[in-house]
Amino acid sequence: MFGDYALLLVGAVLVNNFVLVQFLGLCPFMGVSNKLDTAVGMSAATTFVLTLASACSYLTYHYLLLPLDLAYLRTISFILVIAVVVQFTEMVVRKTSPLLHRVLGVYLPLITTNCAVLGVALININKAHNFIATLFYGVGAALGFSLVLVLFAAMRERLVIADVPEPFQGAAIGMIAAGLASLAFMGFAGLVPS
C-alpha cells in the first residue's frame, strides 16, 4: 500500500510532471523563473497553496457537495477554496517577506488562476483518490512544479550571461530551453504505469 503511494508521488513529480508533460501552470513557470531566489520563493508559495487547496477541495467535495448531491458545483467551489487559500498565502508572504511579495508581484494572486492548482483538485476527483492519496498527489504535483521551476530558473540565469545570438535573446531562448526540458521529461514515460 505504501508502494502505491510512493508510485503515485513519483508519477506526479516525474512521469506526469504538471508543467513539462501535462503543460499546466505555464504562466508562472515562464514568468517567475528569471532568478533562482524568486523561483524558490514561488515554489514554496505554490507548494503551500497546492497542498492546502487539494486537501480543502477534497473535504469540501466529500463532506459538503456529495451529501447534498451538488457534485456539479465542484468547479466553482474549488475555485472559491483556491482563491481563499491564495489570499491567505499572500497575507502570510507579505508579512514574512515583503521583498518576496514585491518581487512575486502579480504572480502571487495569479496562483488562483494557475491551472495546475485547479487541475490537481479536479484530477483527484476524477481518479477517485482517498484523502491520503489526494495529499500525496497534491504534494507530488507541488514537488514536480518546484523541481521544474528551480531547474529552469538556474538554466535561465546562465542563459542571461551566455553568448546568445541577438534574435534568440530573452524569452525566445527560454522557450526553446523549456521545450528541450519537456522532451527530456517525456523520457520518463512508461516508468510508472498509470
Partner 1 sequence: MRVIHDIPGGIHPPERKALSRPGQLRELPLPNRLVLPMRQHIGAPASPIVKEGDRVLGGQCIAEATTSMSVAVHAPTSGTIVRIGAHPIAHASGLDDLCIELETDGSDQWLSHSGVTDYRAQSPETLMAHIQQAGTAGLGGAGFPTAVKLLARERGPIETLIINGTECEPYITADDTLMQCEASAIIEGAQILAYIVGAANIVIAVEDNKPDALAAMTAAAGADIEVATFPTKYPSGGEKQLITILTGKEVPRGGIPADIGIVCQNPGTAVAVRDAIVHGKPLTHRVITLTGEALTSPGNVRAPLGTPVETLMEFAGFQPPMHPRVIHGGPMMGFALASLAAPVIKTTNCLLAPTPDELPLPQPAQACIRCGLCAEACPASLLPQQLYWYAQAKDQQQLEKHHLFDCIECGACAWVCPSNIPLVQYYRASKAYVVDARQEKQRSENAMHRFEARQSRVAHEAQEREAKRAERKAAAAAKAAASGEDPVQAAIARAAARKAAQAETADEPGDPS
Partner 2 sequence: MLSNDPLLAALLALLSLGIIFGALLGFASVRFRAEGNPLAEQVNGILPQTQCGQCGYPGCRPYAEAIVDGDAINKCPPGGEDTIQALADLLDVEPLPLDAEHGVEKEKLVAYIREAECIGCTKCIQACPVDAILGAAKLMHTVIADECTGCDLCVEPCPVDCIDMIPRHSGIAHWHWQLPSKTTGIIASDRAAA
Using CB under 8 A, list all residues that contact partner 1: 158, 160-163
34 binds partner 2 (CB under 8 A): yes
Contact 55, 135 (CB under 8 A): yes
Using the minimum distance from each CB to partner 2, give the nearer residue, 24 or 153. 153
Pick out residues in 80-99 that bind partner 2 (CB under 8 A).
80-81, 84, 87-88, 91-92, 94-95, 98-99
Using the minimum distance from each CB to partner 1, give the nearer residue, 160 or 192. 160
DSSP string of 98-110, one letter each residue: HHHHHHHGGGTGG
Rounded distance between C-alpha atoms, residue 33 and residue 25, angstroms? 12
Exposed / middle / buried, residue 80 (Cβ in 10 Å: 0-12, 13-18, 19+) = middle
Contact 82, 113 (CB under 8 A): no
Report the interface residues with partner 2, using CB under 8 A: 34-35, 38, 60, 64-65, 68-70, 73, 76-77, 80-81, 84, 87-88, 91-92, 94-95, 98-99, 102-103, 105
